[in-house]
Amino acid sequence: MVLEIRKNLVKSIRNFRSANILIIGDLMLDVFVRGRVRRISPEAPVPVVEVQGETVHLGGSANVVQNIRHLEGKVSVCGIVGKDMAGRDIMQELQKLDVDCSGIIEDSQRPTTIKTRVIAQHQQIVRFDKESSDYANRKHAERIADYVYSNYKKFDLLIISDYGKGVISRMLFKNLSGLLNRKEIPVIVDPKTKNYKFYSNVTILTPNTSETQEMAGFEFTSEDDFYKAGIKIIKAKNADALLITRSEHGMTLITKNGKKIDIPTMAKEVFDVTGAGDTVVAVLSLGLATGLNFVESAVIANHAAGIVVGKLGTAMASPDELILSLRSEGR
């Protein structure tokens, strides 16, 4: 029975290319400055990093986009970038991935979000961010909602990827309320707790443990607390399910009908958790968009997370890596 289920999941990964997904979220650039440390600065008790290289990657919601494309799904994206070099870089990289960017707004009044990490000997020394966390104005929220209403019928699923940088707002949810209330399209929300009060009538939320505690309003002292919090959030948001990502403890899926399923981690070694949550959302969306249920989609997403945390930097899982991981389970 288990072998048959595993075969079905392996087969389903090849169907990911048929998925067409819309993402609304905060687009970012991740910059990695790498070097080595051989001395401490005479000016202050800080390490001096001798820079040996710099790489730039899509980050935030744009990382969800590239995870889906890496698994051969089709993507359109709504978001906001600044009229600056970083904004142009994001647009160019998305276009290289054959992503529909017609829902992206350029705003000269706010900078494109850039997160720069300085790394030496595989250790992050410091991170500095260039961003605006102010909510997007009414006009931008209306433009994004208009795009969604004009195009949602061609998509299998909507992802709301919230990094708290202003795209996801009360105004946006108000403008989308008609669509959400009718539940005409499955909706995944990767939440930011400061915006929790805005979410309603969604299909599934994907918080981590600390976000779940914040949204539920209490700290966990036992395994039962995950279930209590999950049911509370599901009822409050009129959702169908909650998938809690729990780092080395894997994931916990809780459904509207009261089921709780713990999925143990598949990670053999953890080198870097950067972007793992984006991978989970991307793979979960591809599973649901191609007809898998919550459990099946979460299992594949868990395998994908186990793959990416075993790589350095913002990483992705390929279809072949996912298939190999599923076939290797239990061996």
Strand 251-255 with 260-263, pairing: antiparallel
Q: Which residues, including other chains, have CB under 8 Å from residue 148's CB and lie 6 or more apart?
A: 22, 24, 78, 103, 158, 176, 179
Question: What pTM, to 2 d.p., does this model score?
Answer: 0.92
Q: Which of 256, 242, 244 is nearest to 302 (CA)?
A: 244
| Domains, the chain, ordered by start | 2-28+65-111+133-328 (3.40.1190.20)
Strand 157-161 relative to strand 123-130: parallel, antiparallel, unpaired? unpaired
The catalytic residue among 26, 107, 240, 278 is: 278
pLDDT at 271: 43
For position 196, what pLDDT does the model report? 95
Element (H, E) at 244: strand 241-245
- Tokens 């089921």 correspond to 259
> How far apart are alpha carbons 195 and 192 in whole angstroms?
6
Residue 84 bears catalytic tag? no
Task: Specify whether the CB–CB gap between 66 and 97 falls below 8 A.
Answer: yes
The amino acid that residue 273 corresponds to is V
What is the mean pLDDT, run by run of 10 residues, along the chain of 331 residues? 59 91 97 94 94 94 95 97 96 96 96 95 91 95 97 97 96 95 95 95 96 96 94 97 91 95 71 69 96 93 84 71 79 52
Pair of tokens at residue 262 = 């713990």
Which pLDDT score, from 0 to 100, does residue 274 have? 56
